[in-house]
A and B are shown apart, each in its own frame.
Chain A
Amino acid sequence: MPLLEVTNLRTSFHTRHGIVRAVNDVSFSLEKGDTLGIVGESGSGKSVTCYSLMRLIPQPPGKIEGGTAMFDGVDLLTASTEQLSKIRGKRISMIFQDPMTSLNPYLRISDQIIEPLLIHEKISRAAALERGIAMLSEVGVPDAANRIRSYPHEFSGGMRQRVMIAMALITKPELLIADEPTTALDVTVQAQILDLVKKMQRELGMAVIWITHDLGVVAGFCQRVQVMYAGRIVERAATDELFARTAHPYTRALQKSIPALQPKGAALYTIPGMPPDLSRPIPGCPFVPRCEFAQEQCKQPVELKDITPNHATACLRVQKGEIKL
């Protein structure tokens, strides 16, 4: 039984300029202890997908148009507020991209770290504080007993992210959703945070969804990857498979764009064009305007289909075997 099973999720935003279909028919599942990476550019829908699961989308203008997300027999998308608040922060936790804005600047770290405990467990403040200090130590914050009384702005970026991780994991959740937690950090700190999450995952046996635009991060950490573009999943595979036998032009283009892998002295490769306007309906494959393999047939609607077991693609021509990437 999968830990999380998402089926046909559709989320859109009703704005002044039209209805933006941010997540367009996304389905995936997650087993206990899995590590899933979700890769895509800004606007691909990778973050909105996970925010929809936690129902953290501001409901005007956002709207979850349809689909289900089964978590231990509960549909997260239609659960009551009461059911949902028992899951959020306790069984599913989330960490965010910018730790400075994601922490309350007016409260001490101590208040914020022990808050999930006070909400979800019957525990005294003193006992919660002890666990908070222990957790803070475990994520690598030195002198935790004193530093826990500080305010967020007294920490550096990397430390703040560690605090967020401590805050998210203090209730030993079954699933951690990490929304680009290293994007705002220095490269060296990125590696440390990744190692920290790996370590905590091993200790707690939890599943992790790691959202990022950086293929390098995915390569080092996730067992499975799904690539999103324009609100849809365009390729899904085990990480090794994805790199070795790439099955979608967009994934290939992303790989080509990694600067470190390109020959020195040549112009850097960029994907031509821009992501599509999601307020307009897109017939067929959304990558068509930017794809070097695009043909007229690509403008027909296309589904995500397995080409080998556990390797799915949404490219019509790859599905038909017409091209090899």
Chain B
Amino acid sequence: MLRFILKRILEAIPVLLIVATITFFLLHHMPGGPFDTEKVTTPEIKAQIEAYYGLNKPVWRQYLDYMGRLIFHGDLGPSYKYFGWSVNELLAGSLPVSIELGIEGMVFALFFGLIAGTIASLRKNTLGDYLPMSIATLGICIPSFVTGPLLILIFGIHFKWFNSSGWFFPRDRILPAMTLGLYYMAYISRLTRGGMLEILSQDFIRTARAKGASGWRVMCKHCLRGGLLPVVAFLGPAISGLVTGSLVVETIFDIPGSARFFVTSAFNRDGPMLMGTTLVYAVLVVVMNLLADVAQVWMNPKLRFE
């Protein structure tokens, strides 16, 4: 197990370096510098700004400078848009918010998804199956930028149970978490149903019943381990998806997280900010995927011996 983890960490490092390099050179080609939209500047001032940010050096030099700062100091550079702020500072303030939102979305998705999927598998081909699964299909088909505004319209404006935006009170977490998690809840309920049905049709369930096991025991002790495997396998890509989903949710609900920074930096052509958020998200996703893979191996003894 330990060897597995070490191997994966060693694999992750070159991947992250490649990601950083590709992103760097990609952003270097971005048309329209960060300062074009600002007030008109004379060529001399423009040259000064470029010198200040090191933009007048050859590309490979800029690359090495950047990577050096990153690896040895963990410094992601200054923001082009928010003068006087470094990327590190901006991320430090916004990342915790995004992480909190992500966790809440995931918890919502897992909790309701697992329950819905399990119930559907036990009541196969009846209303108790068709109803949750149809709602699940709905969740997969309606994008978050539709459900979000609809939820705001119904519960925020019409019923006035929640604020339409902002991130101040614990209550403010509910609608965004739901919007973010809905797609994954739907997917997880389908996976759970499939996994459970697969397990329930296996011979060893018959053996367990032949031993006199009660329904609960069969479900909890025998079904869950195998039945939840597809869900655990899905956790990796789900986390990736939550990151992209948060781009939408943070924008709609006006949440001060890093994803919103990403979107605005794209339009502001704020290179270092884009680099910074991309790298941070890449690291986050790699780490979470590693944890998800470890969980998979733990749950499936057959994988441990490969």
Contact = CB atoms under 8 A, between A and B. Distances in A.
Interface of A: 54, 56, 85-90, 93-94, 96, 98, 101-107, 111, 115-116, 119-120, 151, 153, 164, 167
Contacts of A87: 212
A147 B213 CA distance: 24
A88 B210 contact: yes
Contacts of A98: 203
A71 B175 CA distance: 58
A102 B204 CA distance: 4
B203 A90 contact: no
B39 interface: no
Given A105-B226, A106-B226, A96 B212 contact: no
Interface string B55-76: 0000000000000000000000
A61 to B, nearest CB: 11
27 contacts: A88-B209, A88-B212, A89-B211, A94-B207, A94-B210, A96-B206, A101-B203, A101-B204, A102-B203, A102-B204, A102-B207, A103-B207, A105-B226, A105-B302, A106-B225, A106-B300, A106-B301, A111-B221, A115-B208, A116-B211, A119-B211, A119-B212, A119-B213, A120-B212, A151-B301, A153-B302, A164-B207
A85 B209 CA distance: 8
B222 interface: yes
A90 B211 CA distance: 7
A85 B208 CA distance: 11
A85 B218 CA distance: 12
Nearest to B226: A106
A102 to B, nearest CB: 5
Nearest to B205: A104
Nearest to B125: A60
Contact of A86 (B204, B212, B222, B226): B212
A115 B213 contact: yes
A169 B302 CA distance: 27
Given A90-B212, A101-B202, A107-B222, 6 more contacts: A89-B211, A89-B213, A104-B207, A105-B226, A106-B301, A107-B221
A88 B207 contact: no
A42 B288 CA distance: 50
Contacts of B210: 54, 56, 88-89, 93-94, 96
B27 interface: no
Nearest to B299: A106
Contacts of A164: 207
A1 B226 CA distance: 44
Contacts of A86: 212
Interface of B: 202-204, 206-214, 217, 221-222, 225-226, 299-302
Contacts of A116: 211-212
Contacts of A115: 208, 211, 213, 221
B207 A96 contact: yes
Contacts of B225: 104, 106-107
Contacts of A102: 203-204, 206-207
B210 to A, nearest CB: 4
A111 B213 CA distance: 13
Contacts of A89: 210-213
A320 B226 CA distance: 58
A162 to B, nearest CB: 15
Nearest to B124: A60
A142 B210 CA distance: 26
B232 to A, nearest CB: 12
A89 B209 CA distance: 8
B226 A85 contact: no
A116 B217 CA distance: 12
A151 B208 CA distance: 16
A217 B214 CA distance: 34
Contacts of B214: 85, 119
Given A115-B213, A119-B217, A151-B301, A104 B208 contact: yes
B127 to A, nearest CB: 15
Nearest to A91: B212
Contacts of A56: 206, 209-210
A89 B217 CA distance: 14
B236 to A, nearest CB: 20
Nearest to B206: A56
Contacts of B204: 101-105
Contacts of A120: 212
Contact of A105 (B212, B213, B301): B301
A93 B212 CA distance: 9
Contacts of A107: 221-222, 225
Contacts of B299: 106
Contacts of B212: 85-90, 116, 119-120
Contacts of B207: 94, 96, 102-104, 164
Nearest to A85: B212
B229 to A, nearest CB: 9
Contacts of B222: 104, 106-107
Nearest to A86: B212
A260 B209 CA distance: 39
A119 B213 CA distance: 7
Contacts of A167: 211
A85 B302 CA distance: 31
A153 B300 CA distance: 12
Nearest to A55: B209
A111 B301 CA distance: 14
A96 B202 CA distance: 13
Contacts of B209: 56, 88
A197 B300 CA distance: 32
A116 B206 CA distance: 14
A96 B225 CA distance: 22
